[in-house]
């Protein structure tokens, strides 16, 4: 290795140790002096600062341990022979780089964990969106204004009816559920029940449920309306509204 190469390597090492704060006071003062008057050394320092910046940004602020000063005092009191046996500046530098590499790996693992958690959160949000209805209709009785059932329409096209009260169904009769989205088309039957229970409504061949769409429950013969239109009394009815 030429003197020029050795000088360049020594300068890079000095710049790195300066940025990492590994220099003793005399060496730190020399680095400060060179930083003010040596543009090449200043560029080396800036390059190391740029390289270490991502680690600085991910580091948490940690308050010094209360026992820090006692450890510093004990270090100052260490005999010269013991200090002479300590690793040199270059060794400390590479040891510090090892710590930095470990910190970098830890940061990468933390980023990966955050990504996994974020993906999990997105999946959870997506599942919640699927479970939450986008339109709701509360079906009430005209005479009493009491709610009798609720209709939930979901983003994937599913529509369900959930009764909110007991509904008396005489023998030989059934509850038929209708929907009306266009008065020119007229109501369409979407379910037939022998008793009040939660059920999925059949709207597969109909336009997707929208806002202000009418749903109603009528009392019909056990086999359903003979005309394809409501013939019995309307027990409960209501129109859909978009959920928040």
Most confident of 30-34, 87-91, 161-165: 161-165
Give the count of domains, the chain. 2
Check whether residue 50 and residue 117 sit in a common domain. Answer: yes
pLDDT tens figures, 137-148: 999 998 888 999
pLDDT tens figures, 15-24: 888 877 778 8
pLDDT band at residue 189 under the 50/70/90 scheme: very high
Check whether residue 113 and residue 162 sit in a common domain. Answer: no
Residue 95's domain comprises: 3-127
Nearest to 201 by CA among 160, 237, 152, 156: 160
Check whether residue 118 and residue 144 sit in a common domain. Answer: no
Tell whether the model's pLDDT for residue 68 goes beyond 80. Answer: no
Of 127, 146, 168, the one marking the end of a domain is 127
**Helical ranges in the chain per DSSP H:** 3-20, 25-37, 39-58, 68-76, 80-84, 89-131
Residue 205 makes CB contacts below 8 A (sequence gap 6+) with none
Check whether residue 121 and residue 92 sit in a common domain. Answer: yes
Nearest to 212 by CA among 136, 128, 146: 136
Which residue shows structure tokens 């790195």? 16
Tell whether the model's pLDDT for residue 196 goes beyond 90. Answer: yes
Res 140: pLDDT: 95
Angle between helices 25-37 and 39-58 (to 10 degrees): 120
Check whether residue 101 and residue 166 sit in a common domain. Answer: no
pLDDT band at residue 117 under the 50/70/90 scheme: very low
Check whether residue 122 and residue 7 sit in a common domain. Answer: yes
Overall pTM surpassing 0.75 (yes/no): no
Check whether residue 122 and residue 147 sit in a common domain. Answer: no
Tell whether the model's pLDDT for residue 230 goes beyond 60. Answer: yes
Check whether residue 139 and residue 172 sit in a common domain. Answer: yes
pLDDT band at residue 229 under the 50/70/90 scheme: very high
Check whether residue 119 and residue 12 sit in a common domain. Answer: yes
SS3 174: strand
Res 173: pLDDT: 97
Check whether residue 155 and residue 56 sit in a common domain. Answer: no
Tell whether the model's pLDDT for residue 206 goes beyond 70. Answer: yes
Q: What is the mean pLDDT of residues 45-64?
A: 65
């Amino acid at each position: 290795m030429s003197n020029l190469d050795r000088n360049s390597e020594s300068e890079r090492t000095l710049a790195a140790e300066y940025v990492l704060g590994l220099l003793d006071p005399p060496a730190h003062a020399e680095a400060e002096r060179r930083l003010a008057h040596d543009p090449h050394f200043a560029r080396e320092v800036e390059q190391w600062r740029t390289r270490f910046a991502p680690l600085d940004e991910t580091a948490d602020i940690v308050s010094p341990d209360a026992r820090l000063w006692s450890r510093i005092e004990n270090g100052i009191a260490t005999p010269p022979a013991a200090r002479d046996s300590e690793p040199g500046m270059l060794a400390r530098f590479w040891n510090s780089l090892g710590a930095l590499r470990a910190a970098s790996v830890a940061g990468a693992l933390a980023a990966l964990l955050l990504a996994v958690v974020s993906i999990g959160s997105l999946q959870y949000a997506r599942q919640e969106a699927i479970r939450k209805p986008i339109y709701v209709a509360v079906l009430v009785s005209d005479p009493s204004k009491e709610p009798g059932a609720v209709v939930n329409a979901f983003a994937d096209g599913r529509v369900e009816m959930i009764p909110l009260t007991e509904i008396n169904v005489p023998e030989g009769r059934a509850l038929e559920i209708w929907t009306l989205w266009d008065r020119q088309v007229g109501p369409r039957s979407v379910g037939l029940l022998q008793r009040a229970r939660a059920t999925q409504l059949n709207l597969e061949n109909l336009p997707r449920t929208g806002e202000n769409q009418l749903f109603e429950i009528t009392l019909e013969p056990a086999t359903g309306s003979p005309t394809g239109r409501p013939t019995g009394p309307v027990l409960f009815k209501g129109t859909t509204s978009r959920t928040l």
